[in-house]
Chains A and B, each alone.
Chain A
Amino acid sequence: MNTAAERKHTFFANTVADEQEYVSKTIYNVDHFNLWYGDDQALYDVTLAIPENQVTAIIGPSGCGKSTFIKSLNRMVELVPSVKMNGSISYAGQDIFSSGYKVEQLRTDVGMVFQNPNPFPKSIYENVAYGPKIHGIRKKKVLDEIVEKSLKGAALWDEVKDRLQENASGLSGGQQQRLCIARCLAIEPDVILMDEPTSALDPIATAKVEELVQSLKKDYSIVIVTHNMQQAARISDKTAFFLNGEVVEFEHTDKLFSNPEDRRTEDYITGRFG
């Protein structure tokens, strides 16, 4: 497996890289990463390389540190004041914790979708336009275009195109979640982090979001936390199994589910615990 250091990454270059090449590229390199909330350690020596333009699933029992891990990838975990960390995470070849690294830049390149849909109490249009606006794009025509493109990208356009000015809180849960995905797409990130994006949704809405994830994969690298093992098996290329803050196994999804190497992985995926 390649590490970030090995490859020559041109950071802002075209996201849609050569189709053949992307399989081997690494977008995130996590190296001996430890994290504490106050005195409680939540992540132990996490080491893994997240591939570019693939879907990486994170599975594991409740409280094993999945959310903590995924929030470390865009440094959202730092919103908790007591957090302490060591080890390194590099994104596109740069250590995201190095001094001088701009966290706003990281979060512009790496989008995030949360467990519960969290649209702003603004109109549908304003929700999607939020990202471009804070990054200085003000022209109405450009914004219109971005909003349409993002909503189409999130497979929501047809449902909302006639009521863009209505408040987003009027949408159904599934629609709200796709709106949050559209909001995230609007600034064209390279990576999308998703923390159990379907756990608050019904099966039909879940299917829609899963479909969406599949279609997004060709343009984006996706990291998705899920409780649902079928979901991980259905949509991901690689899967990491977390247990008590450690990565037990990180493998191609087919392999991990059909032929796990570690006993604990096997126990978990066969439902013997967790």
Chain B
Amino acid sequence: MEVNVKNMIKQKETNRFFLRFTEKAAPVFFLLCAAISVLTTIGIILTLLVETTAFFSRVSFWEFISGTEWWPFGENPTYGVLPLIAGTMLITAIAMMVALPIGLASAIFLSEFASEQTRKIVKPVLEVLAGIPTIVYGFFALTFVTPVLNTFIQDLPVFNALSPGIVVGVMVIPMVASLSEDALRSVPNSMREAALAMGSTRLEVAMKVVLPAALSGIIASFVLGISRAIGETMIVAVAAGSTPKLTWDVTESIQTMTGYIVQVSLGDASYGSTAYYSIYAVGMTLFIFTFMMNILSQYISRRFKEDY
């Protein structure tokens, strides 16, 4: 007998509760999934706010933001966050001196000079570099970069700002390079061709035509790189030491905000103590810093978006 599909479909249609149920339930389920990411943000903010409030019931807000000494474990603990901020800034500054020029130059090379074959080698290497766990970089800073620096700088202590700063920079290079390259490559070829056709060299095209056109994207990538360096944890936890200090001397041992949080969570403070709550106050400060950087980067790339 011939199958009558039409009748079968009609029959099935009447008792397909399951389909009708899933059809209704699916969007609700997926919305719930999407809501988790919002809940995560809310969770982060609430966590930081509640515990920071607890911290500020013990330590004055003014002392926290203006104090120049961070010494939570002694007889008379002091909680002035400026040394931690200074340590973070110092690491970030060193890192950016490495990452921004090298990252941007790599991007220009990849986008404007490199042949297809060279790109095929360099890009994956940068990807590998980006995929190396930060603890490995930390180990590298402590056991290789610091000893190497020691041969140039007399009496460089084992823990110092310079070595982890440089290595954080290396870690950030792939990110700056790939985001900047995206910005450069989105400049349409017609603009390059116009300049090349007038006899410009590739360098002139890169510096006078492409770079200015892609500037906002490049700056956005720089800002993201800074944000990444501020939040970097393991490299500084391993190689920068744990002596919070208001200093610009790169050869000294310092401590960053992230480094402090790790130090405390390694067991230096018991639950409920002021030192315990202090990691949330420091975490909040860190969160605000990186959040502002991320917003700034988004703002730059949106506000100054080139319309080619």
Contacts and interface: CB of A to CB of B under 8 A. Distances in A.
Interface of A: 12, 15, 105, 108, 132, 135-137, 142, 145-146, 149, 186-188
Given A142-B3, A187-B5, A137 B10 contact: no
B11 to A, nearest CB: 9
Interface stretch (B12-20, B131-139, B156-164): B12-20
Contacts, number: 36
A151 to B, nearest CB: 14
Contacts of B16: 136
B5 A188 contact: yes
Interface of B: 2-10, 12-13, 16, 19
Contacts of B2: 149
A187 B9 contact: yes
25 contacts: A12-B6, A12-B7, A12-B10, A15-B6, A105-B13, A132-B5, A132-B9, A135-B9, A135-B12, A135-B13, A136-B9, A136-B13, A136-B16, A137-B5, A137-B8, A137-B12, A142-B3, A145-B3, A146-B3, A146-B5, A149-B2, A186-B5, A187-B6, A188-B6, A188-B9
Interface of B is mostly: helix
A105 B9 CA distance: 10
Q: Residue among A12, A108, A136 with the most chain B CB within 10 A?
A: A136
A149 B16 CA distance: 26
A188 B9 CA distance: 10
B10 to A, nearest CB: 6
A105 B14 CA distance: 12
A186 B5 CA distance: 8
A127 B86 CA distance: 63
Closest 4 CB pairs of A and B: A136-B12, A135-B9, A188-B5, A188-B6
Contacts of B12: 135-137
